[in-house]
A and B are shown apart, each in its own frame.
Chain A
Amino acid sequence: DAGVIQSPRHEVTEMGQEVTLRCKPISGHNSLFWYRQTMMRGLELLIYFNNNVPIDDSGMPEDRFSAKMPNASFSTLKIQPSEPRDSAVYFCASSPLGRNYGYTFGSGTRLTVV
């Protein structure tokens, strides 16, 4: 398995533009997680899905952020409109369904909003 695949690796965009981050989880992993990492706040859970259904989106900062998982092999995180304070590394992770499994993380998308 190629692991969790995220794209793009780097994204530089202008304030106000729409940004879409993509994630392909490991096949057979039915839980998918979106995290954001910054120096100030560390790793924050934004949203997670079980069996393609959003379970907890309480970490989504505001309505500018949205996430979808249309099928078991694909998820997107969209920011519209983007702001400079959204600059961070965004990670996608997946795991088997259940409570006692480790997560497999993707390599992340480094987002810079100028």
Chain B
Amino acid sequence: SQQGEEDPQALSIQEGENATMNCSYKTSINNLQWYRQNSGRGLVHLILIRSNEREKHSGRLRVTLDTSKKSSSLLITASRAADTASYFCATGDTGANSKLTFGKGITLSVRP
């Protein structure tokens, strides 16, 4: 069953603009992660934010987490054509195990 739901489903922007993607989830989590998938490839881990963190940065990526609203956002600054891909949020549950539940993804198109 899907835990995270991304919004919007598709996003098209011009190179150099910022891209903001949102994820909402339903139950308590231990962490939330974002992944990228290029067409025909496997998913690539981008960033992990723990439930006790509110913001995290990695290069051009900025992730925020609001556990009171059960939501997260991924910001890609100064986008490039190479950022064109599908982006997924995944939630790690609070149990003893480490399994992730993925959303259905956001398709980002960056026009050169």
Contacts and interface: CB of A to CB of B under 8 A. Distances in A.
Interface of A: 4, 31, 33, 35, 42-43, 45, 48, 50, 55-56, 91, 93, 95, 97-108
B43 A101 contact: no
Given A42-B105, A100-B30, A100-B31, A106 B42 contact: yes
Nearest to A104: B45
Contacts of A98: 98
Contact of A100 (B2, B48, B96): B48
Contacts of B105: 42
On chain B, which size bracket covers the interface?
20 to 34
Contacts of B103: 42
A99 B30 contact: yes
Cβ-closest 7 pairs across A and B: A102-B45, A105-B42, A43-B102, A42-B104, A105-B43, A107-B42, A99-B98
Contacts of A43: 43, 88, 102
B97 A100 contact: no
Given A4-B42, A99-B92, A103-B35, 14 more contacts: A31-B98, A35-B102, A42-B103, A42-B105, A43-B43, A55-B97, A56-B99, A91-B43, A97-B98, A99-B96, A102-B33, A105-B35, A105-B44, A108-B41
A93 B88 CA distance: 15
A4 B45 CA distance: 13
B100 interface: yes
